Amino acid sequence: MAAKEDLQSKATPRRLRHSRPGTVKQGPNLDVLLSMGFPKTKALKALVSTGGRSVQAACDWLFSHVDDPFLNEPLPREFVLYLRPSGPLLQQLSHFWQQSRLICGKNKAHNIFPHITLCQFFMCADSKVEALCEALESVVSQWRGRFPSPLPLELYTSSSFIGLFVEEQVAELLKKFAADFATEAAAQADVHVEPHKKQLHVTLAYQFQTNHLSSLEKLAKGIEVSLGCDWLAVLFSRDIRFANHETLRVMYPYVPQNEDELELVPGDYIFVLPVEQGSTSEGWIYGTSLGTGLSGLLPENYVDQADESDTWVFHGSHSFLSCNPPAGMAALVNKASDGLLDGPFIGDSSAMGQAPLGIVCQPMQVLRVFGQTKPPKRTLFVCRHGERMDVVFGKHWLSQCLDAKGRYVRTNLNMPLSLLARSGGYRDYEKDAPLTVFGSTQARLVGEALLENNTTVDFVYCSPSLRCVQTAHNILKGLQQEDRRRIRIEPGLFEWTKWVSGPSLPAWIPPTDLSAAGLSVDTTYRPHIPVSKLTVSELYDTYISRSFQVTEDILADCLNMGNTVLIVAHASSLEACTRQIQGLSPQNAKDFVQVVRKIPYLGFCACEEGDARLWRLVEPPVLPLTHGPNHSFSWRETLLQD
């Protein structure tokens, strides 16, 4: 096969127009790829995975997937046929999507754009996709003039679902269209399509919190369903391997430090099994890249939640009112055929007539308090620890820092100058990593910000994890209180033990040893939940109950003895230690994990005590601390040229 540069030079000048703008034709593009030396199976897979847009897009896909372990596997993709609205009705639905997400946060309906489902997901081999697209085009042509317009839609609401249902008699016509498509698809593409048998509808919201029902219902009643709309028959596909996965978007680049880690490129998407998000240790998850097909461990704070349909591939759109695509669609398909759009065509929101759906509310709604330098009531601060060594330098970071004699030698300025001695030797750090130099700096900045706002801390409680103890100590340094306040190490504040890898808990450094090393630790404190009471792989309910109980015990200990308590622990602690003291019920485990994933290093929240011993979230006295990744720099590799 020719070199990559030669192949790209051949591919770039070829700009192939499709015979019809509504359907993506891959035949001519396949001929070009075959003439370039690509095997037919790989060429077809690349064309289908990019929607048949162009030779250039297919080449780019092949080059990026050269190490994909499934590149040579004859896996079919899953396809689905939807009716998508356009025109004024779509604008109304898009407005509802935006407002409902802003006001009530994301619910299950936001995973996919507004649509009416015409069939179940079905499989189609790569070699049959062009025939499948032609089958859809043929059936839509037969139905022009017969398709009911406008579609009569009626609002329906329940405690967990809101939608617009198609009037029954008209719905039967749409089901007949779906049946005709199934027949044509079987004849032309040899695929089995199962038409949707349930009531046809546009889902507006489902699986939302009960207290959001009235707000969502009010927004839904504002949709003018009688507005004009050209309903489009649209074909999408998805990778069959990731049908039941969570979809995440890469926010920051990451260069692997170990062989089992995954490179991250901003804009790429990562597929993660829901069980993986709740079972891996804090800071790391296991996922697969859409852009490369490779799998590995990745730092979870480098990715954010995305919608399921963000990674779907577009294969064609047809209007029932006109042989031409709707405004904006023809231009978009022409751009795709010219190779002007990068990456897989996953439904560009603006060009497809859909407003962007990426507006997510913060996981915690805070109440703003102005003009106060010191809270007059009892206040609880909960803070996550700072940047940790094993996330920045990989879980095998320790092996990078031990010389031939087993002595610690830092190899990067962001590594601490020295490590504390441990009874079990340096290997105890593998499950109880310290802060990076920047992590200590982050913590000191938060302490300095508290000092600038005239905020004092009366009591400091801390998880036994070394990174948490170091964070608490550096916050006190920033507050200039490290000699006046002592950190009470409370094992009950440790993270969910299900996230701990291996058969045992970490071997934490005893408070006496921490104090001897110069950390501001109270060696006389007797914890409410000793280490002996913690169990490996505890249930979610057990962790939530433990966190709530220890928080209440801490607040009771400090009653009438001081106004402000600081807890320094883990990302999960900001939710687990504050939710129930507000009188709220715990979230389910899946939603809990989604909240935890959004909390960065030194994430900081404040709770203020109100009437009846109920607490409420208030504005913290410190500004947020935003920071980004900074890769290792080798002047030799970058600047030294032969």
Q: DSSP string of 358-419?
A: -----SS--B---S-SS-SS-EEEEEE---BHHHHS-TTGGGGSB-TTS-B---STTS-S--
For 205-227, what is the mean pLDDT?
Answer: 90
Q: Is the pLDDT of residue 505 over 80?
A: yes
Q: Quick one: pLDDT at residue 344?
A: 38
Q: Which tokens belong to 319?
A: 């209007």
Instruction: Return the DSSP state at 427.
Output: G
**206: exposed, middle or buried (C-beta count within 10 Å: 0-12, 13-18, 19+)?**
middle
- The overall average pLDDT reported for the chain is 84
Task: Quote the longest CA-to-CA distance of the chain.
Answer: 85
Gap between the Cα atoms of 416 and 405, Å rounded: 19
Q: Are 428 and 422 in contact (CB under 8 A)?
A: yes
Please state the length of the chain.
Answer: 642
Going by pLDDT thresholds of 50, 70 and 90, the confidence category of residue 9 is very low
Instruction: Return the DSSP state at 209.
Output: -
Q: Which tokens belong to 437?
A: 């130099």
Residues of the chain above pLDDT 90, percent:
60
Say which residue the tokens 């007059």 belong to: 376
Q: Which tokens belong to 484?
A: 């006046």
Q: CA 73 from chain center: how many Å?
A: 28
- Most confident segment among 400-409, 418-427, 571-580: 571-580
Q: Quick one: pLDDT at residue 324?
A: 56
For 182-192, what is the mean pLDDT?
Answer: 95
- Other CB atoms within a 10 A radius of the CB of residue 598 amount to 18
Q: CA 379 from chain center: how many Å?
A: 32
The residues carrying an active-site annotation are 384-385, 570
Q: Are strands 284-289 and 459-462 parallel, antiparallel or unpaired?
A: unpaired
Say which residue the tokens 């009366």 belong to: 458
Q: Is the pLDDT of residue 22 over 90?
A: no
For 403-431, what is the mean pLDDT?
Answer: 91
Q: Quick one: pLDDT at residue 136?
A: 95
Q: Is the pLDDT of residue 74 over 80?
A: yes
| Cα atoms in the Cβ-side hemisphere of radius 13 Å centred on 207 | 9
Q: Quick one: pLDDT at residue 372?
A: 39
Q: CA 584 from chain center: how many Å?
A: 25
Q: Report the CATH fold assignment for 379-387+441-618.
A: Rossmann fold (3.40.50)
Do 81-242+314-319 and 252-301 have matching folds? no
Instruction: Return the DSSP state at 148.
Output: -
Better-scored residue on pLDDT, 597 or 139: 139
Q: Quick one: pLDDT at residue 145?
A: 82
Gap between the Cα atoms of 471 and 455, Å rounded: 18
* Domain 81-242+314-319 is found in CATH 3.90.1140: yes
Q: Which residues contact 579 (CB under 8 A, 6 or more apart)?
A: 548, 586, 587
Going by pLDDT thresholds of 50, 70 and 90, the confidence category of residue 641 is low
Q: Which residues are annotated as a binding site for substrate?
A: 467
Q: Is the pLDDT of residue 552 over 60?
A: yes
Gap between the Cα atoms of 100 and 103, Å rounded: 5
Instruction: Return the DSSP state at 586.
Output: P
Q: Which of 122, 299, 251 is nearest to 196 (CA)?
A: 122
Residues of the chain above pLDDT 70, percent:
86
Gap between the Cα atoms of 603 and 587, Å rounded: 20
Q: Are 58 and 339 in contact (CB under 8 A)?
A: no
For 468-487, what is the mean pLDDT?
Answer: 93
Which neighbouring-strand residues pair with 285? 298
Alpha carbon distance, N-terminus to C-terminus of the chain: 28
For 34-42, what is the mean pLDDT?
Answer: 90
Q: What are phi and psi of 212, to 5 degrees?
A: -95, -5
pLDDT digits (tens, 9 = 90+) for 559-596: 878 789 999 999 999 999 999 999 999 999 989 988 89
In words, the CATH class of domain 252-301 is mainly beta
Q: Which residues are annotated as a binding site?
A: 467
Q: Which of 107, 213, 226, 111 is nearest to 164 (CA)?
A: 226
Q: Which of 202, 231, 192, 234 is nearest to 82 (CA)?
A: 234
For 391-396, what is the mean pLDDT?
Answer: 89
pLDDT digits (tens, 9 = 90+) for 148-172: 878 899 999 998 899 999 999 999 9
Say which residue the tokens 């097909």 belong to: 293
Please state the domain extents for the chain: 30-65, 81-242+314-319, 252-301, 379-387+441-618
Gap between the Cα atoms of 86 and 285, Å rounded: 38
Q: Which tokens belong to 209?
A: 């919190």
Q: Quick one: pLDDT at residue 12?
A: 36
Going by pLDDT thresholds of 50, 70 and 90, the confidence category of residue 16 is very low
For 128-132, what is the mean pLDDT?
Answer: 94
Q: CA 90 from chain center: how many Å?
A: 26
**454: exposed, middle or buried (C-beta count within 10 Å: 0-12, 13-18, 19+)?**
exposed
Beta strands in 408-533 (DSSP E): 459-462, 487-489
Q: Are 319 and 21 in contact (CB under 8 A)?
A: no
Q: Which of 328, 333, 335 is nearest to 86 (CA)?
A: 328
Q: Quick one: pLDDT at residue 204?
A: 95
